[in-house]
Chain A
Amino acid sequence: AQSVSQHNHHVILSEAASLELGCNYSYGGTVNLFWYVQYPGQHLQLLLKYFSGDPLVKGIKGFEAEFIKSKFSFNLRKPSVQWSDTAEYFCAVNALQAAGNKLTFGGGTRVLVKP
């Protein structure tokens, strides 16, 4: 079965600091990769996704993620965070041949940005 690991459960940053959240998955076949975000009091929503092509994908609000196939990783980055980036971030994987139309999520990382 597929699994997704997010290395940090909690991250605390100051505004303007750079953010990188780690995500690794275990599945040897073709995958689609996602980062979802849940802002306080809001629905879980899609931040960015990778299906194919350029392994560096850009999402909303200045976020980007890089797919490194050899490392089974899909790390999320933002060069300069804002207080409004305080949220919980989830990495997710869709293992195309094995899992059909289902996503496997990581444990989430709570990010607190101090003003």
Chain B
Amino acid sequence: SQTIHQWPATLVQPVGSPLSLECTVEGTSNPNLYWYRQAAGRGLQLLFYSVGIGQISSEVPQNLSASRPQDRQFILSSKKLLLSDSGFYLCAWSTPDRGFTGELFFGEGSRLTVL
């Protein structure tokens, strides 16, 4: 069966420090991968989307970047965190394009607090 893991689960970082959140998927090949940010009252905002290694689509301009160095690994990064980067970050995967059902499978989430 497929599983998705995110880490770290909780992170407290000072303003200006770098960030790296990792997400890995097991049990599937060539998944679509997503990074969402969940903010209270504002639902889930899609940040990045990837259909394959090295292929990243950025949905909103921001202080963050994403990379996909391996088929089932998706990394969210920042060189210098801002206070506004605080939030709950969710990684998700879905079946590849031709088999896309619209269903996303979410990880446990990573709560980032920038002080």
Give me the interface of A with B, judged by CB distance under 8 Å.
Answer: 4, 6, 9, 32, 34, 36, 43-46, 49, 51, 90, 92, 94, 100-108
Contacts and interface: CB of A to CB of B under 8 A. Distances in A.
Contacts of A106: 43
Interface of B: 32, 34, 36, 41-46, 49, 51, 59, 90, 92, 94, 97, 100-104, 106-109
Contacts of B107: 43
B106 A45 contact: yes
A23 to B, nearest CB: 11
Nearest to B39: A107
A110 to B, nearest CB: 9
Nearest to B108: A43
B43 A105 contact: yes
Given A43-B107, A44-B90, A101-B97, A51 B102 contact: yes
Contacts of A101: 32, 49, 51, 94, 97, 100, 102
B60 to A, nearest CB: 11
B34 to A, nearest CB: 7
A90 B51 contact: no
Contact of A108 (B36, B43, B90, B109): B43
Given A34-B102, A34-B103, A44-B106, A102 B41 contact: no
Contacts of A6: 43
